[in-house]
Structure 1
């Protein structure tokens, strides 16, 4: 009886220590160019291999097709989820070429809910969105919010700053719930929309890690940010050395979340 009680007590201590230690979170942000690589081939299996190379917990994808003719009507979120053994969530923003087009998220952890917020749009037929997913963390650590987005690409676009302001208004309603934002923001770190986000969020890299164009990257326009900053520690952030599967390079962060 004493031995059994001791075992239960030991297991309780181990569980408590696990819950109190920082949780390691691996995040990938990748504009997949609807699966079309620099060789002009749509190859979803190749994209899956890039994603699997870093074994991420959470993946934010931009320029994702579902049922679109140009990509052979493949349901890309479902296919990537199946290949990577992750749960897919798709946020459709526009109807395009017989199907849907938008952002997607892949998650290792259970998805409790999801919502696709529409960003302010100045251009007809080019609605953009902010896909929000709430995941249930392991070890009874509660929830984490993960956001995937893609801001307008045009130079001096009137959309990007209002989009960043909306993102900040949304996160202001979430209290102290830990959150990660990942996306193709189409701006370098010193530009207005990224600076607006950085008032509230913390970027996971200092300076600039170029992600675009894919062959000889010169600018970082793909970013990962965390909130609230005090709860997160960045272990590493790097750009993946893969230059064929898409027209962007993927950016990857390893993070630690304090309880």
Structure 2
């Protein structure tokens, strides 16, 4: 089983500043995931040619089930609002996606704590001080029938605001607490090193730097496990032709016992 998490920067390349859906599809084909978690995903946005990037990735990997969950409706950095419930599948949105070659038996959407009003913030990467207007954050949880039995997978993109990211991760941990069987949590958690393990009690399946893409120095993209799966065979962070992150790839052998 190949588990992949990738913050795709809405498919944009830092080399030419362009969004090329063919380039995204080729990256997904090369990564060859069985379960794929994507963050910073566009749907019907002008900047990404009004494409459904989840559908582009699903076709490329041969997914049998997929779910896009908007964190916001509209365009990040411009006019946006919290998404309506239920979501309008034809409207412009931005969020996270979970895709699988295994059939899904259940889906769940979780909206995470956020701060609706602007507040002063000192950012570290890059270092600057100013008013910050936080975007809503969401998680999608899927339960899949795999050759090794049922597997629950969650993905999210947490805030970079100190403290608030920990609160969001705790909320996600509570939501998964009663789930039976193995649980994988993967995504851009905006927390470096072992912080996600310490907050969740899960264990990391792969330690590789993922940010910045050209010369990665720190890991903020994670694949974490609660419970038992197969042995880790390989961990990779291959550079792609898009995004400011590298994907994190974890390959697992068959489940033992």
SS in 2 for 1:169: helix
Contact 1:150 1:184 in 2 (8 A): yes
Map of 1:48-127 to 2, 5 A cutoff? 48-86=25-63, 87-97=65-75, 99-123=92-116, 126-127=135-136
2:248 to 248, 251, 256: 251
**Deviation of residue 178 (structure 1)?**
1.4
CA-to-aligned-CA distance 1:9-64 (integer Å, 9 cap, x gap): xxxxxxxxxxxxxxxx2111100001111121101221221221132100000000
Contact 2:2 2:34 in 1 (8 A): yes
Q: In structure 1, what is the Cα distance between the partners aligned to 2:165 and 2:209?
A: 19
**Deviation of residue 174 (structure 1)?**
0.7
Q: Which residue of the partner structure matches residue 169 of structure 1?
A: 174
Contact 2:103 2:145 in 1 (8 A): yes
Structure 2: stretches of 5+ with no match in the other structure = 76-90, 118-133
Runs of 4+ in structure 1 over 3 Å off: none
1:136 to 138, 145, 153: 145
Map of 1:179-198 to 2, 5 A cutoff? 179-191=183-195, 193-197=196-200
**Deviation of residue 123 (structure 1)?**
3.9
Q: In structure 2, what is the Cα distance between the partners aligned to 1:210 and 1:84?
A: 24
Structure 1: stretches of 5+ with no match in the other structure = 1-24
Number of equivalenced pairs? 223
TM-score, scaled relative to structure 2: 0.81
CA-to-aligned-CA distance 1:195-228 (integer Å, 9 cap, x gap): 212x2x11012xx521111111111110001111
TM-score, scaled relative to structure 1: 0.80
Q: In structure 2, what is the Cα distance between the partners aligned to 1:123 and 1:225?
A: 29
**Deviation of residue 231 (structure 1)?**
4.1
- Does 1:160 find its partner at 2:165? yes
Contact 1:44 1:79 in 2 (8 A): yes
SS in 1 for 2:231: strand
Q: In structure 2, what is the Cα distance between the partners aligned to 1:46 and 1:167?
A: 32
